[in-house]
Structure 1
């Protein structure tokens, strides 16, 4: 029985080192986790239903951008934009995908855009760039997030 008490006393003394360790505070843990997150990159890019079938992240991203560019070009192709402004061959469109799956389009004009009627072009784009298929928003840490990117759209003259 004495050996049992001696063994119990030894374990008690040896385990005291575990009680002396300081536990990091909640704020320290939060700051450490926030620093570990890459805020410039999303875990999953926005995607259309057709692109969700692809397994590779890079292929899904490429599919999304190609499909969106194609849709925008098709919607602008039926308009008089290329007739009104034949010198305008490419428009940069700032696309915003919101967490609730809404999309917003804003044309980005070059600094020398005095030759264009930017208000008219903007109104044509807003009138044409509607009724897009449902888009799944980007995902960061399991949460849908807002993403923005600039998409160059070529206006085809036919």
Structure 2
């Protein structure tokens, strides 16, 4: 009788996983792992040459942003526009770094005040900033795409 009670007692504490297949266990673990991943963040930011891939994530992010801002600033400095009226405005440019490291403009805000003064402004900026390349962002060691927004401040004063 004691053996029967002991077996019943042990049976209550035995995991139900003994009765599930290995395939079902693997599927459950994969689903748990996928739910635990923060899909809105990357493990490593895109890196321009000169950025340290072993640096902490925040430093990588800062390096990427600073290099991108420097490139955009150099691009604007290389362009020459003549305007009749003063411009003081901020445009936002949405970029994507794809899984191969190619940077492309997804969308550029169109402000009529800018287009009235410089008709082909968006085309010139797009032409100069498209097709830059960097080391792509990584998520769990896999190259992934990343989108970001860059403010472009125009001031002709």
TM-score of Structure 1 vs Structure 2, range by shorter chain: 0.7 to 0.9
Change (3 A) 1:95 1:140: same
Whole-angstrom distance in 1 between the partners of 2:49 and 2:19: 49
How far off its partner does 1:49 sit?
1.8
Whole-angstrom distance in 2 between the partners of 1:85 and 1:109: 20
The residue aligned with 2:79 is 79
For residues 22-33 of structure 1, what are the structure 2 equivalents within 5 Å? 22-23=19-20, 25=24, 26-33=26-33
How far off its partner does 1:130 sit?
4.8
Change (3 A) 1:107 1:76: farther
Greater CA radius of gyration, 1 or 2?
A: 1
RMSD: 3.1
Per-residue CA deviation, residues 89-141 of structure 1 (Å, 9 max, x unaligned), is 4321111101111110245326xx33343972221112222564x41110011
TM-score normalised by L of structure 1: 0.72
The residue aligned with 1:21 is 18
TM-score normalised by L of structure 2: 0.72
Whole-angstrom distance in 1 between the partners of 2:107 and 2:120: 11
The residue aligned with 1:47 is 47
For residues 85-124 of structure 1, what are the structure 2 equivalents within 5 Å? 86-109=86-109, 113-117=111-115, 120-124=120-124
Which structure ranks higher in relative contact order (CA pairs < 8 Å, sequence separation ≥ 6)?
1
Contact 1:96–1:104, Cα closer than 8 Å, also in 2: yes
How far off its partner does 1:61 sit?
0.7
Per-residue CA deviation, residues 14-35 of structure 1 (Å, 9 max, x unaligned), is 9xx6897234613322211110
Choose 49-58 or 92-101, whichever is displaced more.
49-58
Contact 1:107–1:122, Cα closer than 8 Å, also in 2: no
